A and B are shown apart, each in its own frame.
Chain A
Amino acid sequence: MVSITDLNRVAACEWEIPVSYRSDMRVAVRLFASEELLQEVTRDKSLEQAVNAATLPGLMSAVLVMPDMHQGYGFPIGGVAATRYPEGVISPGGIGYDINCGVRLLASRILHQEAAPHLEDLATTLNQYCPSGVGTGGRERFSTREVEEICRKGSQWAKTAGFASDQDLRRTEQGGRISGADPRHVSSRALKRGSGQVGSLGSGNHFIEIDLVEEVFDSRSAQVMGLEEGYLALQIHCGSRGFGHQVCSDYVKSLQSAVDRYGIQLPDRALVCAPMDKPEGEAYLSAMACAANYAFANRQVLSHHAREAFESVLAGRVKNWGLSLVYDVAHNIGKIETHNIDGKDIQVCVHRKGATRAFGPGAEDLPSEYRKIGQPVLVPGSMGTSSWVLHGTEEAMRRSLGSCCHGAGRVMSRSQAKKTIWGEDLRADLAEQGITIRAGSMAGLAEEAPAAYKDVDAVVDTVVQAGIAVPVARLRPLAVIKG
């Protein structure tokens, strides 16, 4: 087990496990954490998992771990790793089963005090319009042909189907459509699972949340994003549902033999991988793009339903009930990007597992309005706590492969949370704080209790101190819909 004494301090909030720590490491591990958070991260196996990830062939820079890190399987959650494209490997376990799990933020011109009398109604209607919960699919079942179209086109499909605007697409990471997505690399089981789940939230830590923009820290950036103190905003957190889970499961299985074929030694089979210039790696990259596009489309359809819910409750009661997309970011994904590593521009596959892309100003993939300020970085907190909107920095491009934290990060196991926290009590506590909850299951609610997570403010403070993001606004939850 990695202990604090194994870490070398390289900057105020940055620590390194040197490549000499274990003989099979190819690169170092660098983690972003305050001294306080460091105590928490050494309690579970996340650092050992980061050391394991540092053994992957083709790594071009240190494996990074964000301050919201916690133990996962294979890679730690909060891990970022860049492998050389195309000779390096891609690892499905370094991306996760919920491919392109991500979050989007929508801004509004709805004043909190105007909406306050309708918030209960709004929560109920959102819950009705946006299907959620264990085993609950979307409002519509799509044919296999249609799912294949979703795989290929992502949010572009959603636009053609009437679920998205041009601005929605512009303000989604990579336009909501990753190229190279070929559904022939996706199993019939995945397509079948995907057919009934477009536009559904799922369960677990996924949510839809109505927030109040409580405090703005960078008024120029906030203005560009359409965020203003006192107004409502909406967050949607979910991914590629059973479709993505099936794609990942299929490839974790099929790549087991590829590892032997290419003579790759791994400390954990959950890290199974294949070179991206070999048929197995190419196939996964393409299937992953399908699942990522599916997830973009999923969040887009949910946004459409949320807009309908807002219209149904607020039309005639407030002046402007529209929701305008601020940004949509993936936090479980592998992206082919060009980064300047050791003075050279190199094409790499950046695995982000529980980490958000956080490009600085000037990045080409950003829409023109964000190219000036840097990419919006969305860091949802746990259920009762604040969420943060940040923007990426040039420093992030230099130090964190244009990546940042993705949330608060768990500290307590689900079973422990259920033992110590009673769902009904939690709901009452949150109600007292003015937070309305619509939850499919009280046990599920208890598992997601704020006490099971790190303090999101401390996590955000760390990335800000490290210089990889700048705070724009803090959001306070008003109503949470959970499956």
Chain B
Amino acid sequence: MDVKTGGFEEVAHTADLEIKVWGRDLSSLFAAAAEGMFHLSGIEDYEEGFSSITEEISLDAMDYEGLLILFLEELLYRLTEDYMLFEIYQLTILDNFSLQAKLRGTQIKSYQRDIKAVTYHKLNIHETEKGYAVNIVFDI
């Protein structure tokens, strides 16, 4: 897997925040979604590298959409509760809708925006010519 082959952009939404995310495969899609969420939280600048803390997480769900929400909520929880920002350096997504991720974290001092939740609104991971794409609405 290659987590660096995805991207995201913000889409206009009247009250909440929405991003369009794409990736060559599911892993890069998930990693790009995490990057997009951190971008929305307003934590682009951090001084230290991602070497200090390494963590592994494993999650499972009923489908890929559910898995994506679990994954983002996990990262969001760690951000808001522990002020931890994570870089995803290894991510494996299996056909049974489970995920294993190796994360490198860094402690941050602050972030600019509270994201209340990652919503299921019209959440649909779909295949594209170049891989996968999904639109995610965050309640803020």
Chain A interface (Cβ within 8 Å of chain B)?
Answer: 44, 46, 70-74, 77, 93, 96-98, 134-135, 189, 192-193, 202-204, 242, 245-246, 248-249, 252-253, 256-257, 268-270, 272, 410-416, 441, 443-444
Please state if B66 and A44 are interface contacts (CB–CB under 8 Å). no
| Cα–Cα, bound, A412→B122 (Å) | 21
Q: Please indicate the chain B residues that have their CB under 8 angstroms from the CB of A202 in the complex.
A: 114
Interface residues of B in 96-127 (CB under 8 A from A): 110-114, 116-123
- Ranked 7 nearest A-B pairs via Cβ: A73-B121, A269-B120, A270-B121, A73-B119, A413-B12, A97-B116, A97-B117
Name the prevailing secondary structure of the B interface residues: loop
**Can you list 16 A-B contacts (CB < 8 A)?**
A71-B14, A72-B16, A73-B139, A134-B110, A135-B110, A135-B111, A203-B113, A252-B120, A269-B65, A269-B120, A270-B122, A411-B14, A413-B15, A414-B13, A414-B15, A416-B12
How would residues 60 to 81 of chain B score, 1 for a CB under 8 Å from any chain A CB and 0 otherwise?
Answer: 0010011001100100010011
Query: Which chain B positions have C-beta within 8 A of A416?
Result: 12
**Cβ of B118: which chain A residues have Cβ within 8 Å of it?**
249
Contacts of B73 in A (CB 8 A): 249
For the complex, count residues of B whose C-beta is within 8 A of A.
34
Interface residues of B (CB under 8 A from A): 10, 12-17, 42, 62, 65-66, 69-70, 73, 77, 80-81, 83, 110-114, 116-123, 137, 139-140
Bound together, the chains give a CA A195 to CA B134 distance in angstroms of: 35
Asked if A73 contacts B113 (CB within 8 A), the reply is: no
**Chain A residue nearest in CB terms to B140:** A204
Max chain A C-beta neighbours (<10 A), residue from B62, B77, B110, B117 = B117
Determine whether the beta carbon of B119 is less than 8 Å from that of A270. yes
Give Cα A416–Cα B11 distance, bound, in whole angstroms: 10
Q: Is the CB of A193 within 8 A of B14?
A: no
In the bound assembly, the distance between CA atoms of A189 and B70 in angstroms comes to 14
Bound-state CA distance A46–B121 (Å) is 13
A44 touches B80 (CB 8 A): no
Q: Find chain B residues with CB under 8 A from A411 CB.
A: 14
Across the interface, which residues of A come within 8 angstroms of B122, CB to CB?
A: 268, 270
Closest CB in chain B relative to A248 CB, distance in Å: 6
- A249, B13: Cα distance in complex, Å: 20
Having A70-B14, A134-B114, A415-B12, one finds 7 other A-B pairs with CB under 8 Å, namely A72-B15, A73-B120, A134-B111, A135-B83, A249-B118, A269-B65, A270-B119
